[in-house]
Structure 1
């Protein structure tokens, strides 16, 4: 008897999906759009290894198959999986294959299951190699480096039996009070789009139908607008107009779709009053009809269950999400009842078939019908570790400097006092969504400085204060050490480290309330009303500065903390973000001058929470500042100093004007009717890797109120002392386009200022005119 058509790898994916769908029962179809079970409940550890649970076997039997299984290898305090009970690197592929063998061998059609894992900054699993968090990645302004790291992380996931990587990429830090700021590449849509493209290329490989055995499918989180929730509160409502949605919050998603992303995750928030997971305008009208997306839409965890308040009951809620365009649910009670929804006439079976077809198509693209089990490969964790440390060095951003104190290697320092609650803690520098780390993995800033200090340098340490609260019992020791030192390195900031006694919501978000002793100041569910450093840290900074010893402040943080004016208090201020396990070595390299500071801010640093919003690309309405403080950021988007001086010449345009017809296209046309050139010179005594930035602002014309400025290009150049170079940017449709009243991207007639410089607020501009007809 010949094999069915869907088993023929030589046939087109669409034909294989159509054939398989025609053979499936409704129960099997419903099973394919569900990932109801938490993956860590599918196995248990015994004296002889790991065994599959009865609950897992029952789940497979209930749907005569399983669409996907989330988090088989996840380990963290929420899942309750520890190093003693979880799946390490040595067992990952074996347990994943045991799951797959049961599904394939105990179902009528033998359809493989998708194994879905979190990969926010490296694989969230025991022995998974961690990267700096996305906000740190954004601070590198180096998408090519991130692409290579994403490639190795995907290979690590596949070597352990995983197929689908869930990665935050689409959210923007429009309100730094939001606890998930660390998961964003920054506040700017252009910057996020470039990193999203790099992520898709790195994880999935070249755009195309097949995804190789050393690559993974990527599901981009979260679609859309989650970074603009009211008050910076997680999962709250958003108040976005259509243009704001398209110009700010859909740019990265559009870039990811064009790069070939396999899937997107519908966010918790609403758009125009309708939750994203049930929003046909977003999931069907924009994503599929306008953009032509053919991949998978996954709901965020338990998001479909939240629709019960709208729909009235779980069956109707599932039907609502399915009709809107959600293909695959996550942990909810609604999608397992879609068969009932079809029987009640709440949704047509053809709509169910459409969603099932997308799930099956991804399984075919991954080659799971031909290779359901792990393809033997030996990933290179050492290579990924080296890339992680390199990204950590590149993300360190020098915010302020007296021009004398750094690098430390240039000072006759004999005693270095390292002080602060973030100086000696790896968990506090690796961010949220991380598995427990094996002892000896990485090192904190204290360890990095001790290893890097020249022979004869004494490095002393005092914690000084707690991470949160006002306990200053350690202050006298810290002040004494600082007073006796040549330089004091004060390591402050926040932490997303989840502890054993952290409480969690059903979807895994941390529950940290006022008065809760858990030392979490960032992460999912940890939103802040105030953005300043906690009381104890502020007092420690004041006391150490009062000793007169030069103070270098290093901020280890997952969001930009609001900073006071530190002039006269700190000789230098650096942000290391959450740089990952090897961030201590990276910070030490920068402080001692073994590496040049080259990070640039991916987000504006506010003066206080009271001045929010403070993102750089707001609308240009010409508002005055506040009476009691400026309305500008303490440090603007794109800012970052180096140990040398760099001068920019005037930007030069190849043309002063062009007709609107020269920019025909949808905003991403590759033709460049004009170019902008600028001369950049290293006028100092040290080498530099300079991030040359291109900004555009509309001076007049157009159908929408213009923004103050918008990033439209960046290039990194390496310059030796005294060296100069010319940097050229194309001026094309994507450089000047905006989302118009007609609901499309287009270049409109008007006058533009095209500026180049080292940050969003330090540009020199040239004027360019777009005429209604060819000039």
Structure 2
């Protein structure tokens, strides 16, 4: 295999391996018949994707004038003259009604299929990442980081099913989801779009959401399914600076060990499309890497679906990354590297350049045919030739109580109780409560970005019927028992980030008359680059509010409503209870109140390591040398694994006892397996759910092993006094790793199994 270290020497080149990738792509007779009739211009048009604002009436290509309507001249130019094959996004950066979606997509399909020479339907795509993001009235689930906190495969799959149904109800067959980037750096502004820091957890939940979107058999012609789009291939989530779309330095051993497995698992699960990383790895833009896109993705992993760029990223090869001397060379690089469709998103210059490149022999016709075959195959499998647009009247469950119950349940199971000193929680319903903090009365903060608008900043236009944390607490105990003082508020007019000390003194005065304080802190909404930050510590104003309230000596419960773990070291000791709510969606306020008052027993577990210091961002699966205990005396160095809360941590209102850890064998052979059994007993007085987590440690290996790795998990429900025995199976593949030669191996030696505080050892021999 060609090493990633030489990827920089291979930008935009092609070889026989590209032919190998093309040969794997399915030959569908109807598609082959179309391909044989298409001109170069028609083929190139299929490889182009425009944002819908370009095709609507507005002041320019970047805007849409209300009421929403197509610009007929521009639409015909794009879809008929240029044969553009795909459209994305929402017009005017706002959610649309089912009726608006049906009208605009029907009109686009009518032009594409009835006025173009070959009548090829448009492939419409949208970011429906925690529900059908851009449709008014859709069911919103927690963002992916909250879904990961549930550790519930069934709920994640169900969320995918509901989202697919409601996205198809909107007339849209292609969903730019899930995000399979690894959430291993809390500074990264898109961490909340991931399933967290662990390879196994992300891989398992990635499989579930793909199956939720596409169905068990991946039959996306089913009008209740959509084509999934895995993003952002590959290594997008760990830039060196922690800021979005900035360079990453990731050795091949790390790419293969941490970043590739979730994509590989989702490809094996049948996902139809992939979106590419907008950034650079080791100085090479992924959009220009033949090695990453063709050799690794299409040849080695055998991906036969559609590969689409992210926003404007071919142009970025010239404008931002400076590896192409002009826009035309950027197109050549990207298409020859293995890109099938360009999210342009505004200009048709891409089409003109690519036609010229083909005619000049700079881009092989075989590469064009391969890309167009992948695109047309996707359209055919989606059933777009027969049903170019679905009708919302055929989707009676859209926004139904059954769907909202699913979203509410997911929000409940995502709630993670991190601290419960002196069993302060659950709160009594006859208590008087001060509700305070900038996130206490905000639907915007509960949902996060990609909610009705890109930044989630106009959310109040759509969420009047949902409950904030304040609303939900008030509904539980009555308005006469709740006092609300914001204390700190976000200055939305100034910046997504700015908050101001609105009335800290007023909040302190209000605390005099209450029994408990519920303090809702965290972040305002952000998406992508606007979420970049310089300091991971929670804002000074929010810390000041917490410190001022602590002086009242009233027991305080901190509710964290945030997309990533902000540093709370200075105020955490002041809290009796801490709940991490993440970005729980429209039913998050209800879920927070459910847990606060004990109507729901919390069962969420952290899908990341919660950092204690901004300069100590280490994941649970670290190397032994990253955890060297502090020594007293002269050498009092700060090299310990200093964290606020551990990966997988989460408390319950009941107690669980683990016992009888046993292995079916203490020797594992090359073709064998070991069954690991453990008994879990609910020793408390309440029914509760527990996430049983199995880890292994490789005691010695040819490269330094990780301290431990998650290998299996299951979420179970136990009534008081009930016990269950669970059995997990381990195979040699489960304890394999990427070695110094960048190959996956399982080496002979001793391994240790960990479940809760129990452990047992076995040996692997070839």
TM-score using structure 2 length: 0.89
Does 2:757 match 1:769? Answer: no
| Contact 1:415/1:485, CA 8 A, preserved across alignment | yes
Counterparts of residues 108-507 of structure 1 (less than 5 Å): 108-127=117-136, 128-208=138-218, 211-308=221-318, 309-331=322-344, 335-336=350-351, 337-375=353-391, 377-380=394-397, 381-382=399-400, 383-409=402-428, 413-435=430-452, 436=459, 437-453=461-477, 458-467=481-490, 471-496=500-525
| Post-superposition offset of 1:651 | 2.4
Which of 620, 634, 638 is residue 624 of structure 2 equivalent to?
620
| Contact 1:13/1:364, CA 8 A, preserved across alignment | no
**CA–CA distance in structure 1, aligned partners of residues 220 and 417 of structure 2:** 43
Q: What are the Cα deviations for residues 108-132 of structure 1, in whole angstroms up to 9, with x where unaligned?
A: 0001110111111111213133221
**CA–CA distance in structure 1, aligned partners of residues 165 and 580 of structure 2:** 30
Aligned to 1:512: none
Aligned to 2:696: 696
Q: What are the Cα deviations for residues 700-740 of structure 1, in whole angstroms up to 9, with x where unaligned?
A: 13x33211111111111111122222111111234212123
Stretches of structure 2 that go unaligned for 5 or more consecutive residues are 1-25, 59-63, 453-458, 491-496, 631-636
Mark the CA change 1:40 to 1:440 in structure 2 (over 3 Å): closer, same or farther.
farther
Which of 614, 624, 628 is residue 609 of structure 1 equivalent to?
614
**CA–CA distance in structure 2, aligned partners of residues 733 and 204 of structure 1:** 30
| Post-superposition offset of 1:567 | 6.0
| Post-superposition offset of 1:552 | 0.5
Q: What are the Cα deviations for residues 729-762 of structure 1, in whole angstroms up to 9, with x where unaligned?
A: 11123421212345443322111111112xxxxx
**3-state SS, counterpart of residue 278 of structure 2:** coil
**3-state SS, counterpart of residue 311 of structure 1:** coil
Aligned to 1:103: 112
| Contact 2:168/2:224, CA 8 A, preserved across alignment | yes
| Post-superposition offset of 1:395 | 0.7
Q: What are the Cα deviations for residues 490-547 of structure 1, in whole angstroms up to 9, with x where unaligned?
A: 11111115xxxxxxxxxxx6xxxxxxxxxxxxx5431223222110110111111111
| Contact 2:211/2:218, CA 8 A, preserved across alignment | no
Aligned to 1:8: none
Q: What are the Cα deviations for residues 217-240 of structure 1, in whole angstroms up to 9, with x where unaligned?
A: 111110011111112111111111
**3-state SS, counterpart of residue 715 of structure 2:** strand
Mark the CA change 1:205 to 1:443 in structure 2 (over 3 Å): closer, same or farther.
same
User: Which region of structure 1 is more displaced relative to structure 2, 532-541 or 341-350?
Assistant: 341-350
Aligned to 2:102: 93
**3-state SS, counterpart of residue 48 of structure 2:** coil
| Post-superposition offset of 1:15 | 2.4
**CA–CA distance in structure 1, aligned partners of residues 211 and 446 of structure 2:** 27
**CA–CA distance in structure 2, aligned partners of residues 352 and 722 of structure 1:** 64
**CA–CA distance in structure 2, aligned partners of residues 544 and 101 of structure 1:** 61
Q: What are the Cα deviations for residues 188-247 of structure 1, in whole angstroms up to 9, with x where unaligned?
A: 111111111111111111234653122111111100111111121111111111121011
**3-state SS, counterpart of residue 608 of structure 1:** coil
Counterparts of residues 644-683 of structure 1 (less than 5 Å): 644-649=654-659, 651-659=661-669, 661-662=670-671, 673-683=673-683
| Contact 2:79/2:85, CA 8 A, preserved across alignment | no
**CA–CA distance in structure 2, aligned partners of residues 479 and 684 of structure 1:** 37
Q: What are the Cα deviations for residues 23-63 of structure 1, in whole angstroms up to 9, with x where unaligned?
A: 00000001000003435643578898734442222212331
**3-state SS, counterpart of residue 232 of structure 1:** coil
Mark the CA change 1:29 to 1:47 in structure 2 (over 3 Å): closer, same or farther.
closer
**CA–CA distance in structure 2, aligned partners of residues 600 and 47 of structure 1:** 44
Which of 526, 531, 534 is residue 531 of structure 2 equivalent to?
526
TM-score using structure 1 length: 0.88
| Post-superposition offset of 1:320 | 1.1
| Post-superposition offset of 1:349 | 1.1
**CA–CA distance in structure 2, aligned partners of residues 55 and 715 of structure 1:** 53
**CA–CA distance in structure 1, aligned partners of residues 268 and 225 of structure 2:** 18
**CA–CA distance in structure 1, aligned partners of residues 763 and 644 of structure 2:** 33
| Contact 2:516/2:555, CA 8 A, preserved across alignment | yes
| Contact 1:432/1:524, CA 8 A, preserved across alignment | no
| Post-superposition offset of 1:317 | 1.2
| Contact 1:466/1:537, CA 8 A, preserved across alignment | no
**CA–CA distance in structure 2, aligned partners of residues 365 and 553 of structure 1:** 48
Mark the CA change 1:48 to 1:770 in structure 2 (over 3 Å): closer, same or farther.
closer
| Contact 1:617/1:710, CA 8 A, preserved across alignment | yes
**3-state SS, counterpart of residue 699 of structure 2:** strand
| Contact 1:41/1:56, CA 8 A, preserved across alignment | yes
Does 2:65 match 1:66? Answer: no
| Post-superposition offset of 1:385 | 2.0
| Contact 2:186/2:564, CA 8 A, preserved across alignment | yes
**CA–CA distance in structure 2, aligned partners of residues 15 and 158 of structure 1:** 26
| Contact 1:37/1:59, CA 8 A, preserved across alignment | no
Pairs aligned (count): 707
